[in-house]
Chains A and B, each alone.
Chain A
Amino acid sequence: MSSKEKILAAVLENQPQLTPLPDIGIFKGKDQDIVQKYSDTFTSIGGRVFLVDGIAAVKAIIIEQFDINKRIITTLPQLDDTAELYSSRVDPHTFDDVELAVIKAQLAVAENGAVWLTEQLMGQRILPYICQHLAVIVSAESFVPTMHEAYTHLGVGQYGFGAFIGGPSKTADIEQSLVMGAHGPITMTVFVLKENINGQE
Chain B
Amino acid sequence: MIQNRTKDHAALAEDFIKDEKRVDWHDGALWWIRQKRDKVAKQIPEWEDLREAASLIKSNVLSNLHDYLLQFEANATKNGIKVHWAADAKEHNEIVYSILKAKEIKQMVKSKSMLTEECHLNEYLLERGIEVVNSDLGEYIQQLAKEPPSHIVLPCIHKRKEEIGELFHEHLGSEKGESDPTILTRTARKHLRDVFLTRRGALTGVNFAVAETGEFVVCTNEGNADMGAHLSDVHIASMGIEKLIPQKKHLGVFLRLLARSATGQPITIYSSHFKKPRQGQEMHIILVDHGRSRQLGRVDFRNSLKCIRCGACMNTCPVYRKSGGHSYHNTIAGPIGAILAPNLDMKKHADLPFASTLCGSCSNVCPVKIDIHDQLYKWRQVIVKEGYVAKTKTIGMKAMAWTLSSPDSYTAAGKVGRWVLKNTPFAVNNKLNPWYKQRDMPGAPKESFEEWYAKNDLKGKS
Contact = CB atoms under 8 A, between A and B. Distances in A.
| B and A form one assembly | yes
B38 interface: no
**From DSSP, what is the main secondary structure of chain B's interface residues?**
helix
A146 B136 CA distance: 28
B248 A14 contact: no
B78 interface: no
Contacts of A10: 289, 293-294, 296-297
B393 interface: no
B266 A175 contact: no
A160 B91 contact: no
B361 to A, nearest CB: 20
A124 to B, nearest CB: 8
A161 B52 contact: no
A160 B278 contact: yes
A173 B138 contact: yes
Nearest to A168: B269
B43 to A, nearest CB: 9
Contacts, number: 245
Contacts of A181: 185-186, 189
19 contacts: A7-B69, A11-B293, A11-B296, A15-B64, A16-B299, A18-B64, A24-B57, A24-B252, A96-B193, A151-B251, A156-B248, A162-B273, A163-B226, A171-B221, A173-B155, A174-B161, A175-B29, A175-B181, A182-B221
A162 B273 CA distance: 5
Interface string A159-170: 111111111111
A93 B197 contact: yes
The winner among B52, B213, B252 for most chain A CB atoms within 10 A is B252
B331 to A, nearest CB: 18
A175 B160 CA distance: 6
A145 to B, nearest CB: 11
Contacts of A125: 226, 229-230, 278
Contacts of B273: 159, 161-163
Nearest to B44: A111
Interface residues of B, number: 91
A108 interface: no
A183 interface: yes
Nearest to A18: B63
A112 B270 CA distance: 12
The 7 A-B residue pairs whose C-beta atoms are closest, nearest first, are A14-B297, A184-B223, A160-B276, A112-B266, A182-B222, A173-B138, A10-B293
B66 interface: yes
B5 to A, nearest CB: 27
B266 A111 contact: yes
A54 interface: no
Contacts of B85: 2-4, 7
Nearest to A122: B230
A6 B85 CA distance: 10
A160 B265 CA distance: 27
A148 interface: yes
A33 to B, nearest CB: 15
B59 interface: yes
Contacts of B373: none
Interface in A62-117: 92-93, 96, 109, 111-114
A40 B224 CA distance: 27
B256 A13 contact: no
Given A45-B265, A130-B230, A148-B252, 17 more contacts: A7-B87, A10-B293, A10-B297, A13-B297, A21-B57, A26-B49, A27-B50, A163-B226, A163-B270, A165-B270, A170-B221, A171-B137, A172-B154, A173-B137, A174-B161, A181-B189, A182-B221
A8 B59 CA distance: 18
Contacts of B49: 26-27
Contacts of A151: 248-249, 251-252
Interface in B242-291: 246, 248-253, 255-256, 263, 265-278, 287, 289
Contact of A166 (B160, B241, B266): B266
B32 interface: yes
Given A24-B253, A162-B273, A173-B141, A129 B223 contact: yes
Contacts of B50: 27
A183 B258 CA distance: 22
A7 B293 contact: yes
A161 B251 contact: no
A76 B181 CA distance: 36
Interface string A1-42: 011101110111111111111101011000000000000010
Given A17-B63, A166-B268, A174-B185, A182 B224 contact: yes
Nearest to A28: B46
Contacts of B156: 173-174
A61 interface: no
Nearest to B80: A160
Contacts of B79: 160
A193 interface: no
A76 B186 CA distance: 31
A152 interface: yes
B65 A163 contact: no
A174 B230 contact: no
B70 interface: yes
B98 interface: no
Contacts of B66: 8, 11-12, 15
A41 B278 contact: no
B241 A11 contact: yes
A79 to B, nearest CB: 23
B122 interface: no
Contact of A22 (B52, B86, B164, B196): B52
